[in-house]
Structure 1
């Protein structure tokens, strides 16, 4: 097959312990999936889950042991960090039950859902889609993927983020409003999941602004950490 111009290379993420990389298909994100974060955003309770997408090429790879760089984005003065557990799908499917979800998971990673909060809030006020606040270039940093068999008890893991050495976010994956199996069940009812899909599962309370020169370090117990510099 020929093309009118060379196609873009496949976006991929390193995998711990092997040379082969994980090719990215789509990026799904779960909104307001920790109770305390939902409250800080003005919501409460176990609301039905909702999802938004980021383009695959918004990925910024932060390999284990290295500091990745994210340019401060245009059109914003209020760039927020959101630390998240990322689920990497290895086997696709539709209408996957929560009980069978684990068999579709390839592994896990630490991710950041970076957000142009001022643009997102402006779009919300106008009742318009807020892709401009979430799906911009470089908005999906991610660390090395750890295969599920090597990740330990992910549901019991701690999750945290520091900015310039000061803790900003800390919680436990057990505090997800909708757990990993339930997320996959709901998501696969709306889209047919494919190998290579990434699911950013939501962020705990403590989201706040970062500026040029800030260094972010995030982690989830049992997974390769993520380190990112803004600038």
Structure 2
């Protein structure tokens, strides 16, 4: 199997035309005509993940977050960001990303997050879009403290931040992996009690909690890292190659 054959299967399930206009999902680096060896899956393209790929004879790294987002004016391999590019090129590794297309698609990141948190009767959160961002559904009534504890445990989060009425009872829950503040108005229109999402700003948290929305922020990493294990299972059914995962864990935030 060539790399492009596996990519074709992934794009049939998670089409690139679903991605947001600002996004850059798809092939980032490499020659998709190369024969596929093994596959590494990671949330981001990290130097340690590249090293693991090399060690395990992987010539394809699949990431959620695209490595290339902005225009490149120069490439300086002394820059740590571009040293990753040098390493994958020298080791003939291709890099492929599925970002907002994976977020939106059926059986993608947000459906997986909804399943992990036990949502029932799940629907798309982004009003008027099908497919769209986020999901919402029903849960057995629960208090905020218990819900936050469950989320922390199920997502293996080091901590969660709650904004809003801590005495509220939650029956209708929304989720959006990564940064989902753009969906807060949709939550209000759909009478949703709480949303699990990340990267919430202070003032927007204050404004929407005042409007009655309970916001639970487990961190960007933990709201999305679960998808690499789902992709591991999915890709293992698409190829006979060995599939590995690399997770750096939530080391960007330090809790003291």
The TM-score, its normalising length taken from structure 1, stands at 0.23
Q: Which has the larger radius of gyration?
A: 2
* Larger fraction in strand: 1
Larger RCO of the pair (alpha carbons < 8 Å, separation 6+)? 1
The TM-score, its normalising length taken from structure 2, stands at 0.22
* Larger fraction in helix: 2
